Structure 1
């Protein structure tokens, strides 16, 4: 993103809107460890020198950890296309239940015209606090000259 074209660039990335009263009891959390962020930074073009500034250690980029932005296990995701046409991408997510022991979460979303969004499985049933489960968000898009933003939120 360019600051000259996008004056709100510092607000263009993130985990969606927050509700401060619900932040005390999030129910589900997305696990991301230091290595996830190292892989993300490698995918953004960082090298050992620039990584050391961020991590303070000897982290290095390799073919294995050179991840692209959509590999970061984060509650929001981005899909980018350089040219108009069709694109399909699968986001693999893992969440940990920090809510009630027996909890059911159902995916809900509204996709704008031109996007087909599927979540598999569409619901997650947890039996314990601390239990981890994974799901996939599959996005099929017909990209024209417009921009889309889709947010996924478990309910």
Structure 2
């Protein structure tokens, strides 16, 4: 399981010209799932994301987490995070989990993140053609892969 986390001052997800999710200060989280991801990946990654110290403290040092600043989150499924680009110029998505595996894991990740944060997490729509707009604050962009936790 892989995430691309962007610290944002605002972000929103639009589907068919309708805003489906919108936040101010917080994290925009793109989530990619592979076939061998498990509930352990979900738990570890949700906790890591919520506690990642990438928000400024009173000394303007990145020392506060999403929990500390009571920020919001949007989670967007993105199978392209697992693109294989080694051969040729057309990415292969063979590693990305199919919907029957990915949807339950995506939904579980959102629920786990909500549990850790103690608040509702907004989402896009799995498999939809989404337009994502954001103002990356910093810019701060972090990539975390649950397979590299050790």
If asked which structure has higher relative contact order (CA below 8 Å, sep 6+), I would say 2
Q: Would you call these one fold, judging by a TM-score over 0.5?
A: no
More strand by share: 2
Instruction: Determine which structure has more spread, i.e. the larger CA radius of gyration.
Output: 1
TM value normalised by structure 2: 0.26
Give 1 or 2: higher helix fraction. 2
With normalisation by structure 1, the TM-score equals 0.25
